Structure 1
Amino acid sequence: MKKIALGLSSLAISVAAATAHAGEVEVLHWWTSGGEAASINVLKDLMTEEGHTWKDFAVAGGGGESAMTVLKSRAIAGNPPAAAQIKGPTIQEWGDLGFLTNLDAVAEQGQWDVVLPQVVSDVMKYDGHYVAAPVNVHRVNWMWANPEIFKKAGASIPTTWDQFFEAADKIKAAGFTPLAHGGQAWQDATLFEAIALSKGSQFYSAAFVGLDDATLRGDDMIDVFKTFKKTRDYVDSGFSGRDWNIATSMVINGDAAMQIMGDWAKGEFTAAGKKAGIDYVCYAAPGTSGQFTFNIDSLAMFQVDDENAQGAQQDLAKLMLEPTFQETFNLNKGSIPARLNMPRDKFDTCAHASMDAFLAGSSTGDLVPSMAHGMAVSSMVQGAIYDVVTNFYNNESMTAEEAVDRLARAIKASM
């Protein structure tokens, strides 16, 4: 028995007929910050224009852990939402459990295999069939900086980790927080993987895609942990538990100089009325110029019984790939469209740099999935990495050598 509901009536509904009956679509997501909320409201409005009802089920938490907990409890109870924000290998896990429905009819009409890069379309499929629709592609390995603080501190924007620490010392001496950071496991992992990426895409892929034991235990990984722990000296005392967008606001408001965070942070600058290249600058995280850790946001569609809800589901998937939504959503969100060959004229210099790096990285091997954001490994392996990384960051006595051993052991136990 196929685990995707290939025979469900949703497949029998043509895309043209799906709009004939208004339906309700409940969407579970964690797009709750200022820039994210503005982005998802675009999709809500488009669904309303189609005659459907959008039932918002937002669960705050930038990494999505809380949302996933809620989704699991709903699914176990036999009452999953129509759509949920899940991504990467997690899509495969839900497909294996038999919860996802088929979007091939919409995908065929919208020519998704043509308009999506293969690295994106592959993630949206389970067992060769579309079960999710992408809204964007995020570049995770960004550094956001407040140029005014650098000017006051007499420091230069760093492009290597050695330069980062040189600049951070000057910024700290000038009375500013060098690195805005939120002490949450996923944010720790975001910083950690950016440092790992600076060792090269081949090293990164061997460690966090191939899960190669020798790489995980090697000298380069020990050095990654040492550099990671060193950054701890340059965050403020109130970082523990801080949400990512609050850390971004520290850079926006001139309290902190830098943040290592994906390009959803740009949505916060945009929401605050700030201009790229003037009020803030964007650079690849130190040592990662030309590389691209990707995080693809998507909505996976769950099996629902109501025929009108099935039609609303199909319309939702269709609208997500329409150029109008792809452009407006990503202008608000800070990301770049998942759809190829979109006009660039409304996007800023940071987005142009991201688009260029994405296209270049896809041909050089420097386009790699984000471990920290659920694109590279299973949720079990990711959780094991999170635990080791965040415990190390907050444990003054643990050595990098001990952390490397724990990391290799934890990954092996969770595979």
Structure 2
Amino acid sequence: MMTRFRAAILAAGVVLPLGAAHATDLEVTHWWTSGGEAAAVAELAKAFDATGNKWVDGAIAGSGGTARPIMISRITGGDPMGATQFNHGRQAEELVQAGLMRDLTDVATAEKWKEVIRPASLLDACTIDGKIYCAPVNIHSWQWLWLSNAAFKTAGVEVPKTWDEYVAAAPALEKAGIVPLALGGQAWQSAGLFDVLLISLGGKDLYLKVYKDKDGETATGPEIAKIFKAADDARKMAKGSNVQDWNQATNLVITGKAGGQVMGDWAQGEFQLADQKAGTDYSCLPGLGMNGFLATAGDAFYFPLLKDEDKSKAQEALAKSLLDPATQVAFNLKKGSLPVRGDVDLSATNDCMKKGLDILAKGDVVQGTDELLSADIQKQKEDLFSEFFASTTMTVEDAQTRWAGIIASAE
């Protein structure tokens, strides 16, 4: 694969004809296409357009798993965009190593990113061989349970405060004709749900043993067996979802057709778009109400190498605008994520975002799986859990054995 990437380096500089002398159009690709995501992207575009350049939106419908191969193919095939979204971590590692991505160290130094980006691990995830290759724009955490207050009222039970209470309330929800757990059919949602169960029910040490240390013995042990039992509970609770996209699953919670959803904090953008208020219309449980640890994953923008001087200057302007304090606040309030800058005014945040900020302030954070595992291992994990949650015959024992084999093969 690396040979193919290196062969594409010369082609990567092929771009469209020169634009204006001091400002130009710049295509930005991403996979933010839900209503809440589109509203957030508009804030980034507005900030960039204010520099005199023009954001050309290159949204790719679907998830990151759908979009990333398209983005990579364009970059390696000689048709690079001006900037592209990836999750910060290892997703663009081979592109950087092949010399296809722009070094942003000078921009980061001038803008003092090391002084303002918190936690520092976010910028570390953008750093390869001492050089900075991406601009992180948010802190997204997967470890949330979103609950419909109306659904539980209809079912005649209290809104749960823990995962265990949630599982116990499932029969009452089903009796009321409400799907207990909304879960979309995309593979990344199933894998993400399992990872949330792992850290929220098993704790930080267990999570790091398998995903950071790749401890095969732990992966086959009884502590992990308990997590797979919880995944089986979730599988049974989600059997009536019948939706594909994550935001469709979120809408089931918003409309009271589902009791809850395990999904990242980007779900907040959908609740806000529906004019729902945290604590009144919906509730949120970081760490499933069990272990309040959040993974500091998120999104970053990478900049392919371009030969067009005007577009290269526009790339610098975009990188700066993404980290501008006002842009950080406007974007993240609509995205439902937390800003990467530790020096911005967050007085307008809602109750759920404040919970996340409190956890972040305590330092109860871990690296996300995109930072700990290669893209190939992530894909294997997604394939397994997609099959597990769609199946009624795969046993938890078989699933654990297959998962442990994936962990044992990880680098």
Alpha-carbon distance between aligned partners in 2 of 1:222 and 1:278, rounded to the nearest angstrom: 36
Q: Percent identity?
A: 36
Match of residue 245 from structure 2: 243
Instruction: State the Cα distance separating 1:402 from its structure 2 match.
Output: 1.6
| Paired residues of 1:384 and 1:414 also in contact (CA < 8 A) | no
Q: In structure 2, what residue type is equivalent to 1:369?
A: Q
Give the Cα–Cα distance (whole angstroms) in 1 for the partners of residues 102 and 402 of structure 2: 39
CA distance in 2, matches of 1:76, 1:412: 31
Q: Partner letter of residue 380 of structure 1?
A: D
The residue number in structure 2 matching 1:91 is 92
The structural deviation recorded for 1:236 is 4.5
Residues 137-178 of structure 1 show CA distances to partners (whole Å, capped at 9, x for unaligned) of 012111111112212222233344332211111111122111
The answer as to 2:140 corresponding to 1:142 is no
Are 1:256 and 2:277 an aligned pair? no
Q: Does 1:229 align with 2:227?
A: no
The one-letter code of the counterpart of 1:299 is F
Alpha-carbon separation, structure 2, partners of 1:386 and 1:227: 17
Gaps of 5+ in 2: 7-19
CA distances 1:362-389 after superposition (whole Å, capped 9, x unpaired):
2xxx411232xx2331101111111222
Distance in structure 1 (CA, Å) of the matches to 2:372 and 2:30: 20
The equivalent position to 1:387 in structure 2, one of 376, 379, 383, is 383
Alpha-carbon distance in structure 1 between the residues aligned to 2:278 and 2:133:
36
Note the C-alpha offset of 1:268.
0.3
SS at match of 2:202: coil
Q: Distance in 2 between matches of 1:277 and 1:238?
A: 24
Match of 2:24 in 1: 23
Work out which of the residue numbers 395, 403, 407 in structure 1 matches 2:399: 403
Structure 2 counterpart of 1:370:
368
TM-score (norm 1): 0.90
Q: Is the 8 A contact 2:328 2:341 kept in 1?
A: yes
CA distance in 1, matches of 2:308, 2:288: 50
Q: Aligned residue for 1:271?
A: 273
How do residues 204-353 of structure 1 correspond to structure 2 at under 5 angstroms? 204-239=207-242, 242-353=244-355
Structure 2 residue matching 1:196: 3-state secondary structure: helix
Tell me, yes or no, if the aligned pair for 1:260 and 1:285 is still in contact at 8 Å.
no
In 2, Cα distance between the equivalents of 1:265 and 1:36?
9
Give every structure 1 segment of 4 or more consecutive aligned residues whose post-TM-superposition deviation is greater than 4 Å: none
User: Deviations 1:63-105 (Å, cap 9, x if unpaired)?
Assistant: x011111012212212221211112111323211221111122
Matches of 2:205 and 2:325 in 1, distance apart? 34
Give the aligned residue type for 1:367.
V
- Give distance in 1, aligned partners of 2:89 and 2:61: 20
Compute the displacement of 1:189 (Å).
1.1
TM value normalised by structure 2: 0.91
CA offsets 1:185-211 (integer angstroms, 9 cap, x no match):
110012111111110100011112222
Whether contact under 8 Å (1:91, 1:124) holds in the other structure is no
1:286 is paired with a residue whose SS is: helix
For residue 125 of structure 1, report the CA deviation from its aligned partner. 1.6
- 1:231 deviates by 1.4
Kindly provide the amino acid, as one letter, of the partner of residue 31 in structure 2.
W
Please give the alpha-carbon distance, in whole angstroms, between the structure 1 residues aligned to 2:277 and 2:371. 30
What does residue 11 of structure 1 align with?
A: none
Structure 1 window deviating more from structure 2 (393-402 vs 269-278): it is: 393-402
Counterparts of 2:191 and 2:129, CA distance in 1: 30
Match of 1:262, SS state, is coil
Residue identity opposite 2:401 in structure 1: D
SS at match of 2:145: strand
Q: Deviations for 1:190-245, whole angstroms, at most 9, x for unmatched residues? A: 211111111010001111222211121111112211211221222243525x1000
Conserved? CA contact 2:139–2:339, under 8 Å: yes
Counterpart contact for 1:177–1:256, Cα < 8 Å: yes
Give me the whole-angstrom Cα distance separating, in 1, the residues matched to 2:160 and 2:237. 14
Aligned counterparts of 1:357 and 1:412: Cα–Cα separation in 2: 31
Q: Is the 8 A contact 1:23 1:312 kept in 2?
A: yes
Unaligned runs of 5+ in 1: 5-18
| Separation of aligned partners in 2, 1:107 and 1:274 | 37
- Alignment match, 1:195: 197
Cα distance between partner residues in 1 of 2:57 and 2:239: 35
- Give the residue type in structure 2 aligned to 1:248: T
Q: Quick check: 1:141–1:288 contact (8 Å CA) kept in 2?
A: no
Q: Which residue of 1 aligns with 2:75?
A: 75
2:17 maps to none
Cα separation, 1, equivalents of 2:35 and 2:187: 22
Deviation at 1:398, TM superposition (A): 2.1
Q: What amino acid does structure 1 have at the position aligned with 2:328?
A: Q
Letter in 1 for 2:164: D
Change (3 A) 1:414 1:299: same
Higher mean displacement: 314-323 or 202-211: 202-211
Residue identity matched to 1:131:
Y
* Closer, same or farther: CA 359–94 of 1 in aligned 2, 3 Å: farther
Relative distance call for 1:353 and 1:238 in structure 2 (3 A) is: closer
Letter in 1 for 2:23: A
